[in-house]
Structure 1
Amino acid sequence: MTTPIDRPALVRRLRAAGCVYAEDEADLLLDSADSPAALADLVARRIAGEPLEHVLGWAEFCGLRVAVDPGVFVPRGRTALLVAAAAAVTGPAPAVVDLCCGSGATTLALARRLAPRWLAATDIDPAAVACARRNLVGLDVPVFTGDLFAPLPPHWRGRLDLVVANAPYVPTEAVALLPPEARLHEAPVALDGGADGLAVLRRVAAGAGEWLAPGGHLVVEAAESQVEALCAALTAAGLVPGVRHDEDLEATAVTARRPA
């Protein structure tokens, strides 16, 4: 954009508003605006605390540009570990379902990385479903509205090679401690994991064995402090758990195999 905006002044305004990566954000905002008026609107939204990804309308995830609508969960960089863990345990041309798909970022990354023979996604939030459908247009990937496995076609039971779920895992009392960008601008259903953060993940674990094919895998994201309890729930559900950590991403992925 050709604009008289003073970039150093913009950086100072963003930094004063608490933007840690003010220089990078300034460049992204400048690139996204097609007029000084548009830039002023974007900057005002960002300074007011709206997530940068919602202001821009997209987020970078696993090297892909993913559309993110207002109110929809913003894909986190740490979830790249979930994608890597899924790719590591899954064979060629798998049948895959992504639960709690949000914007469809993980679904999109798996479509590129795994070349599934079929792939679908679900989310309980209609706004997230609409966003995911937009991101997955042209890929012949159905996105179902509903709670976890409930909206899937019944004849898929026992036929899935891979189920992934970036389900909410923040304990209810900790939601209030999240950065304002998350707790004020993302759907609570995408954040709140119940009393200990594992309410949704326990239901995923309980249902996975019914939907996975023998030898199939479940891969989920969790906090490191939740691993012991989650692995116990997976074992109780008849699955064989494993754990992967990535210190650089500050991420934990838990895998679980349905015995053959």
Structure 2
Amino acid sequence: MNFLKDRDVLLVTIHQKEKVIKPLLEGQFGCHMHVSPLDTDQFGTFTREVSRQQSQFDTARRKVTMGLKLTNHRVGVASEGMFGFHPLAPIPWNTELVLLKDDELELELYGYYEGLNTNFSHTIVQDYPAALQFANQVGFPDHHVILRADDEHSSVILKDIMNESLLQEAFKYCFYKSTNRQVFIETDMRAYANPTRMKNIEIATRQLIEQANSLCPSCGTPGFRIVQKVPGRLCEQCHTPTKQIVQHVYACSTCQCQQTKDLEDIYASPRYCDLCNP
């Protein structure tokens, strides 16, 4: 079931995400993608001028919903990213969501990426060599940087810094405007300014395609997906159940059909066993 064949699909973005999302979806489904003019910065910015008010999923859904209202499209796609630190360690962490909403079929599908493949970082510097050193460490100039006077809350902010000449000018300006002779510099996490993030959006888009191609065995609706991961894989040494996943439960959002599928490997390493490795 190719539910997108020859259909017009709206992509809600102002940060050039069409560079990765458009060719993947058009190539896979034969749809026609159009970029929405909706200003998505109103839903939140990474540089904190606008705070995001809802969850990552709800924000992506809101983008699509508002984008569709402004056009005659019935299908829309939006992406929403989030940056922070891993909950168990002080490691930069990126999660990317690509959501597809089909109002005609009353269907929502999504792809997801989460991992540590990100250059998300910031620092405070007192001189230009330190600013340049930080920029080079985060992949400049392919990855852009953003500068502020003083700290992360300063209203003096310069974006789209994509070469050393602009970096030097931005540092001089922010340093001149600072009250304590320091400059805040951070990675630019907007998609077009961050190739690493764009790659993660691509991964999430591929997962969306995988989900769209997973059809319910009962009604044929796209999006037959994992809704539960069941622990209980046996320790290969003592055969005691561990917390490692042994089964995936798949479900359809339309007809409520469910299937449980065993993973190929039913045994876990003793290092995951509470008895062998207490």
TM-score by length of 1: 0.25
Indicate the structure with greater helix content. 1
Bigger CA radius of gyration:
2
